[in-house]
């Protein structure tokens, strides 16, 4: 496993604002400092940017939901689908349900902080990038006046934070993000939670019309995941942010590389062309499967690499269409 050195933030470094986290872990105060920059992130899909993603995405965009307000006596022209049959039967007269547009759109952020996310060859761990993205989305939703909540999970447990339009709720999300993130160590756990456990819980707690952001590497998506994603996409606006590292995409051309899942170790001989080709083919095959899986339900699958700037990327897909400035980010090689 390629791992970035665990460096602690020095007092002097903490005084210098950065719009992203680097290294092995995130810091609560740093995540909280993203609040101001997130004001300029409207969280509205950029149709043009998403249309360039690989996969059959039709950029389905839902409006705000409708909330039940009251009942009134039926009037000519009312939609018969809105008749309240129970009240009508009880009173002997036809009554219609009255709805109003939902003022606060619920936003749910699902964040993968399992051991498999404790990986990177440059700049920041996948788990760190995921936490940065979640923090920006949480602050942006709060600035919009939406109710924001989160489902943060690791290999052993999960934390469900119900959507509320409160600053303390965002801070609660950041607290659990930093807490879960700092528990990671790269060693295998006795338990290994499948992503389907989080998706099942998400299906249980999300309400129709919810805007859902799922942040993971999606390494263990399977047929059961497809069914759960289908159920979620029927009633909610779902976006998938896939955290990737360039070393997962292809091997360097020379050298022997030790890889580990925390308990088992293998040595990969990158000197062999056939090994490099097989490695890259495996990645390409998995990506093609994910694109079919998410594209089938019109869920955008947005790739985010560990060297990408999370804020610039979110601005590109959910802001003013600015181009991500990944090339301007200084890489910190292992």
Question: Which residue's entry shows tokens 């049959």?
Answer: 85
Angle between helices 195-205 and 223-235 (to 10 degrees): 20
**Residue 76: what pLDDT?**
80
Please state the rounded mean pLDDT for residues 307-328. Answer: 76
Instruction: Tell which wins on pLDDT, 179 or 185.
Output: 179
Beta bridge partners, 265, equal: 260
pTM over 0.85: no
**Cα-Cα-Cα-Cα dihedral sign, residues 305, 307, 309, 312:** negative
Helix (H/G/I), strand (E/B), else coil: 181: helix
- 168 or 11, which is more confident? 168
Given a cut of 90, whether residue 327 has pLDDT beyond it is no
Which helix (H) or strand (E) segment is 297 a member of? none
Give the pLDDT score at 263.
63
- Is a pLDDT exceeding 50 seen at residue 334? no
pLDDT interval class at 10 (50, 70, 90): very low
- The alpha helices in the chain, defined as continuous H runs, are 11-15, 28-32, 47-51, 85-91, 126-144, 167-182, 195-205, 223-235, 246-249, 273-295, 310-318
Higher per-residue confidence, 79 vs 290: 290
Report d(CA 20, CA 129) in Å as an integer.
8
pLDDT at 34: 97
The two tokens of residue 29 are: 């105060």
- pLDDT tier, 287 (very low <50, low <70, confident <90, very high otherwise): very high
Find the mean pLDDT for residues 293-298.
94
- Does residue 8 surpass a pLDDT of 90? no
pLDDT at 47: 79
Q: Which of 18, 50, 27 is nearest to 313 (CA)?
A: 50
> 3-state class of 148 per DSSP?
strand
Give the residue carrying structure tokens 């976006």.
239
Over residues 31-53, the pLDDT tens digits come to 999 999 999 898 888 878 887 77
Banded pLDDT at 333 (limits 50, 70, 90):
very low
Q: Closest Cα to residue 317, out of 22, 42, 124, 39?
A: 42
Cβ(3)–Cβ(332) below 8 Å: no
* DSSP bridge partners of 95: 73
Tokens of 227: 């069914």
HSE-CB at 49 with a 13 A cutoff on CA atoms is 19
For the chain, helix (H) and strand (E) counts, in that order, are 11, 10
Q: List 67's β-bridge partners, or say none.
A: 100
- pLDDT band, residue 188 (cuts 50/70/90): low
Structure letter (DSSP) for residue 34: G
Contact 255, 271 (CB under 8 A): yes
Mean pLDDT of 149-153: 98
- The Cα 192–Cα 179 span in angstroms is 18
Q: Higher-confidence residue: 334 or 66? A: 66
Question: Parallel, antiparallel, or unpaired for β 211-216 and 106-112?
Answer: parallel
Res 77 pLDDT > 90: no
pLDDT value, residue 72: 84
Does residue 206 contact residue 180 with C-beta atoms inside 8 Å?
no
Q: What is the chain's length? A: 334
Mean pLDDT of the chain: 85
**pLDDT number for residue 262:** 58
Q: What percent of the chain has pLDDT over 70?
A: 82
pLDDT digits (tens, 9 = 90+) for 92-130: 989 888 765 555 789 999 999 999 999 999 999 999 999
Reported confidence tier of residue 330, pLDDT bands at 50, 70, 90 = very low
pLDDT of 51 reads 79
Q: Which contacts of 33-36 are long-range, i.e. CB under 8 A and separated by 24 or more positions? A: 34/132, 34/135, 34/136, 34/139, 34/311, 35/139, 35/170
| Spans of all domains in the chain | 16-59+103-328, 68-101
- The DSSP bridge partners found for residue 301 are 240
d(CA 334, CA 332): 7
Centre a 10 Å sphere on the Cβ of residue 159 and count the other Cβ atoms it contains. 18
Q: Domain 16-59+103-328: which topology?
A: Rossmann fold (3.40.50)
Predicted confidence band of residue 326 (pLDDT cuts 50, 70, 90) = very low
Question: What digits encode the pLDDT tens for the residues 51-66?
Answer: 777 655 554 545 445 5
Give the residue-averaged pLDDT of 130-144. Answer: 97
């Amino acid at each position: 496993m390629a791992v970035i050195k665990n460096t602690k933030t020095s007092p002097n470094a903490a005084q210098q604002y950065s719009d992203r986290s680097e290294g092995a872990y995130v810091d609560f105060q740093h995540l909280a400092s993203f609040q101001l920059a997130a004001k300029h992130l409207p969280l509205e899909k950029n149709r043009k940017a998403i249309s360039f993603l690989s996969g059959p995405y039709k950029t389905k965009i839902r409006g705000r939901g409708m909330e039940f307000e009251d009942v009134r006596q039926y009037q000519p022209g009312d939609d018969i689908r809105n008749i309240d049959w129970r009240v009508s039967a009880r009173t002997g007269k036809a009554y219609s349900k009255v709805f109003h547009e939902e003022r606060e759109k619920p936003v749910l952020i699902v964040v993968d902080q399992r051991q498999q996310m404790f990986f990177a060859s440059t700049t920041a761990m996948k788990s760190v990038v995921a936490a940065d993205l979640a923090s920006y989305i949480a602050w942006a939703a709060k600035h919009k006046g939406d109710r924001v909540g989160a489902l943060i999970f690791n290999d052993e447990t999960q934390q469900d934070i119900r959507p509320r339009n409160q600053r303390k709720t965002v801070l609660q999300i950041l607290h659990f993000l930093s807490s879960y993130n700092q528990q990671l160590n790269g060693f295998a756990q006795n338990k290994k939670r499948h992503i389907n456990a989080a998706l099942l819980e998400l299906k249980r707690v999300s309400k129709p019309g919810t805007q859902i952001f799922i942040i993971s590497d999606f390494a263990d998506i399977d047929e059961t995941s497809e069914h759960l994603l289908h159920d979620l996409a029927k009633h909610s606006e779902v976006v998938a942010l896939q955290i990737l590292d360039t070393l997962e995409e292809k091997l360097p051309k020379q050298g022997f590389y030790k890889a580990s899942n925390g308990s088992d170790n293998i040595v990969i001989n990158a000197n062999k062309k056939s090994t490099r080709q097989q490695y890259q083919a495996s990645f390409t095959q998995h990506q093609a499967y994910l694109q079919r899986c998410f594209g089938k339900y019109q869920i955008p699958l947005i790739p985010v690499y560990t060297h990408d700037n999370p804020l610039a990327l979110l601005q590109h897909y959910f802001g003013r269409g600015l181009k991500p400035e990944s090339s301007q980010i200084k890489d910190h090689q292992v």
